[in-house]
Amino acid sequence: MKAAVIVFPGSNCDRDLADAITKVTGTAPQMVWHAEPTLPEGLDFIGIPGGFSYGDYLRSGAMAARSPVMQAVVQAAGEGRTVLGICNGFQVLTETGLLPGALMRNAGLNFVCREVRLEVVNSQSIFTSRYAAGETVTIPVAHHDGNYFADEDTLNRLEGEGRVAFRYAEPVNGSARAIAGILNDTGNVLGMMPHPERLIEDAQGGTDGRRMFEAVQAALG
The helix/strand/coil state of 102 is: strand
* Residue 38 neighbours by CB distance under 10 Å: 11
What confidence score (pLDDT) does residue 64 get?
Answer: 95
Q: pLDDT digit string (tens) for 134-180?
A: 999 999 999 999 999 999 999 999 999 999 999 999 999 999 999 99
Inter-residue contact 28 to 61 (CB < 8 Å): no
What confidence score (pLDDT) does residue 55 get?
Answer: 87
Inter-residue contact 147 to 171 (CB < 8 Å): no
What confidence score (pLDDT) does residue 58 get?
Answer: 81
What is the number of structural domains in the chain? 1
| E strand residue ranges, the chain | 3-7, 30-33, 45-48, 82-86, 102-104, 112-120, 136-143, 147-149, 164-168, 179-183, 189-192
Q: Which residues are catalytically annotated?
A: 87, 195, 197
What confidence score (pLDDT) does residue 62 get?
Answer: 92
Rounded Cα distance between 98 and 119, Å, is 23
Which residue range is the domain that position 8 belongs to?
A: 3-220
Q: pLDDT digit string (tens) for 205-214?
A: 999 999 999 9
What confidence score (pLDDT) does residue 119 get?
Answer: 98
Inter-residue contact 192 to 141 (CB < 8 Å): no
Q: Residue 214 maps to which CATH number?
A: 3.40.50.880
What confidence score (pLDDT) does residue 168 get?
Answer: 98
For every one of its 221 residues, what pLDDT tens digit does the chain have, with 9 covering 90 and above?
Answer: 999 999 999 999 999 999 999 999 999 999 999 999 999 999 999 999 999 999 888 889 999 999 999 999 999 999 999 999 999 999 999 999 999 999 999 999 899 999 999 999 999 999 999 999 999 999 999 999 999 999 999 999 999 999 999 999 999 999 999 999 999 999 999 999 999 999 999 999 999 999 999 999 999 97
Inter-residue contact 147 to 107 (CB < 8 Å): yes
